[in-house]
Structure 1
Amino acid sequence: MHRRLFLVSAASAAGLAGCGMPESGPDATPDAVSRAAYRFDGPPAITLFTMVSNENGDGAHTSMMINASQRVVFDPAGSVSHPRMIERGDVIYGMTPELAELYEGAHARETYHVIVQRREVLAPVAEKALRLVMENGRVGQAFCTQSTSRILRQLDGFETIRPTFFPLSLKRQFARLPGVTERTRYETDADDKSRAVDAFFEERTGS
């Protein structure tokens, strides 16, 4: 009973923040995913995003960016999407600096701020993280943090991570790992993050 009540309340809150009912369209084809691959010229790293309510301080959504042989964002049960965004199984591909900036900035708005934690890792660790998120498939409502924490604990150097449904719990666990840097992003954009996403792609297509 307690677990059921938790999932109902978590789903309700997460639906407002981004860890709710997925709004993505059909999965991109494997060919589209292959063509979208982007290799970022930087060290292998895992970046954890934690979205936090500005009203009550509650954690609302968890996702992570992986820089390996290509850079992607694992956005489990996320709601940042666009017809021109290449996404398959809750993984967003083609994470150029511009798209990475859009993703982070779209979540920071008048109702939520974003805590960004980054940890450099060895290349094999980043590659395993990439493989795990690509194989994971779509995540159900309110399971964004649970799925992220479950994947992280399978990586060398992240064994202390314990599965959790709570974004702030995972954030605290991640912060205790050696070599983690942290920053917080606040913005005052309107709550509807789809506006920022639409504007980004309109600017690049001229329509």
Structure 2
Amino acid sequence: MQRRVFLMAAPLALAGCGSGEAVWAPDAMVERARYRHDGPPALTLYTVNNLGTGNGAHSALLINASERVLFDPAGSFGHASIPERNDVLFGMRKQVVDSYVSYHSRASYVTVAQYLEVPAPTAEKALRLSLGAGPVPQAHCSRATSKLLAQLPGFEEIGRTWFPHKLMADFGALPGVVTTEHNENDSDSLRDARRAVARRLES
């Protein structure tokens, strides 16, 4: 049942989108992994952009509420130590978040992080919506993420879109957003990226 144990034979796009199949980690594994971050309630939109074309390739949302999770719709990132329930990844400690960003950042791709502090009820609603949103079909990452955001108070102007770059622009227009970019001049191979994640998380 665990799609995200890096099945090497799975056909994955370079952007990091996966198959969108149903995954449901056991209760005990989820409970062990749950992580409460001591920072303020916040949402971080991740957009993976192709440096050659300028087009967006993947969208995901880090949610810091009563626990910190990653809504990674139809994503290909994962490790056996990270429990997933239908596109929601639990236990998003700094090491795991850094691994996620590094996994998507390669010679041809840059990962853009847009951080926005939000009221606690807004973060909690985002958490609840993420838990009920998946599994998301392949290539629907931005559609699912924009749909979730558009249901939050203060995010009504977020347009539902299929395009990561359009969602990034809409999110970036919100007041208070802090944007950072991460790029690594390494292999474009997802196989190499998976191996690097495994080394980081198993060290």
- TM-score w.r.t. structure 1 length? 0.87
Going from structure 1 to structure 2, the CA distance change for 1:128 and 1:26 (only over 3 Å counts) comes to: closer
Answer yes or no: is 1:129 the counterpart of 2:126.
yes
Counterpart mapping for 1:181-200 below 5 A = 181-191=178-188, 192=190, 193-200=193-200
Contact kept? 2:65, 2:120, Cα under 8 Å:
yes
Question: In 2, Cα distance between the equivalents of 1:171 and 1:134?
Answer: 22
Amino acid at match of 1:195: R
Deviations 1:125-146 (A, max 9, x none): 0000001001112100110000
Q: Which residue of 2 aligns with 1:91?
A: 88
Q: Which of residues 14, 17, 20 is equivalent to 1:16? A: 14
Question: In 2, Cα distance between the equivalents of 1:96 and 1:61?
Answer: 21
Answer yes or no: is 1:75 the counterpart of 2:65.
no
CA RMSD across the alignment: 1.5
**CA-CA distance at 1:26 after TM superposition:** 4.2
Contact kept? 1:19, 1:62, Cα under 8 Å:
no
Answer yes or no: is 1:62 the counterpart of 2:59.
yes
**CA-CA distance at 1:31 after TM superposition:** 2.7
Q: Which residue of 2 aligns with 1:154?
A: 151
Deviations 1:69-104 (A, max 9, x none): 000111000000122221111011001111111111
- Percent identical across equivalent pairs? 47
SS at match of 2:63: strand
Question: In 1, Cα distance between the equivalents of 2:35 and 2:18?
Answer: 27
Question: In 1, Cα distance between the equivalents of 2:23 and 2:142?
Answer: 23
Aligned pairs, number: 189
Q: Which residue of 2 aligns with 1:109?
A: 106
Contact kept? 1:15, 1:21, Cα under 8 Å:
no
Q: Which residue of 2 aligns with 1:9?
A: none
Question: In 1, Cα distance between the equivalents of 2:202 and 2:158?
Answer: 40
Contact kept? 2:23, 2:135, Cα under 8 Å:
no
**CA-CA distance at 1:32 after TM superposition:** 1.6
Runs of 4+ in 1 over 4 A off after TM superposition: none
Amino acid at match of 2:114: Q
- TM-score w.r.t. structure 2 length? 0.88
Q: Which residue of 2 aligns with 1:4?
A: none
**CA-CA distance at 1:67 after TM superposition:** 0.3
Question: In 2, Cα distance between the equivalents of 1:26 and 1:146?
Answer: 20
Deviations 1:136-165 (A, max 9, x none): 121001100000000000001101011000
Contact kept? 2:22, 2:86, Cα under 8 Å:
no
Question: In 1, Cα distance between the equivalents of 2:173 and 2:104?
Answer: 24
Amino acid at match of 1:174: F
Deviations 1:91-121 (A, max 9, x none): 1100111111111111111121011101100
Q: Unmatched 5+ residue regions in structure 1?
A: 1-13
Question: In 1, Cα distance between the equivalents of 2:22 and 2:186?
Answer: 25
Q: By percentage of residues, which structure has more helix?
A: 1
Q: Which residue of 2 aligns with 1:32?
A: 29
Contact kept? 1:51, 1:114, Cα under 8 Å:
yes
Contact kept? 2:95, 2:201, Cα under 8 Å:
no
**CA-CA distance at 1:25 after TM superposition:** 8.6
Contact kept? 1:44, 1:67, Cα under 8 Å:
yes
Question: In 1, Cα distance between the equivalents of 2:164 and 2:22?
Answer: 25
